[in-house]
Amino acid sequence: MKYDTIIFDFDYTLADATEGIVSSFNHAFNRLEIPGCDCESIRKTVGLSLDEAFVQLTGNKDKAVINSFKNLFREKADEVMSKNTVLFEDTVSTLQRLKCDGINTGIVTTKFHYRIIETLNTHGILDLVDVIVGGEDVKLPKPSPEGLLLAIDSLNAQSNGVLYVGDSVIDAKTALAASVDFAAVITGTTKENEFLKYPCVRILKNLSELFNQ
C-alpha cells in the first residue's frame, strides 16, 4: 500500500447508526411539534452538520429553533446512539490489518468526538484508531478541510501519504480541499456515479477492497 496514513469518515463508512440517528431526529421533531421524517430522508442527511440536516429536512432556518433541535437530538442520542450503532462486517478486520501493517489510522467526522470514543469503546476497538477528530473539535464542519488537516497534523503525516476514505460527496470534497487522495466506499446513500465528479483513487464496495491491488 502506498499510504502510511488512512483516515476514515465514521457513519456509513465504518458503521451503521441509522436506528439511533432516526430515533434522535424524530424525538427532537416530536418535542418541537414538527412532523417526523421517514428513515430514508434522514439517512440522506448523514454527513451533514445537524444545522444543515435540520434545514434540509424542514426548510426552517430559524437559529433558535435549530439550537433547540440540536439540544433535543443530543439528549436522545446520549441515550440511544452508541448502543444502536452497528459496525460493518469488515470494519474490525480492516482496522486490525492496518494496525498490524504499521499504518496510522484516524477518524474525521461531524459526529461528536466523545460519541465516537463511546462507540469504539462499546465495541472494544478504541486502540485500533490513532486519532479522532469530531464535530466539536473544529470551527467549521466538512467539507471544510479543517478536521482532516488537524488529524494529519496530529499524526505528523505528510499529505501525499494520506488516504481519506468516506461514503459521501461531502467526504470527497473534504479530501479535495485538504489536497489528499480520496477513496469512496458505497456503503452509504451515495451512488457510485455521484463520485465520478470528484477525484477518487478508488471506488470500493466495502472496506475489505482497500487491500485489493
**Containing H/E element for 169?**
helix 169-178
Domains of the chain: 5-16+86-211 (3.40.50.1000), 18-80 (1.10.150.240)
Rounded distance between C-alpha atoms, residue 107 and residue 87, angstroms: 14
What pLDDT, in 10s, does the model give residues 143-175? 999 999 999 999 999 999 999 999 999 999 999
- Continuous segment of H or E residues that includes residue 152: helix 146-154
Taking 70 as the threshold, does the pLDDT of residue 123 lie above it? yes
Report the amino acid identity of residue 192.
E
- What average pLDDT is seen over the chain? 95
Task: Categorize the per-residue pLDDT at 213 as very low, low, confident or very high, splitting at 50, 70 and 90.
Answer: low
Which candidate, 149, 147, 145, 198, places its Cα nearest to that of 169? 198
| Rg of the chain on CA atoms, in Å | 17
Q: How far apart are CA 58 and CA 195, in angstroms?
A: 26
List, for residues 111-120, the tens digit of each pLDDT value: 999 999 999 9
Kindly give, in sequence order, each residue whose CB lies less than 8 Å from that of residue 154, ignoring residues fewer than 6 positions away.
Answer: 106, 131, 133
**φ, ψ for residue 202, nearest 5 deg:** -150, 150
Predicted TM-score (pTM) of the model is 0.94
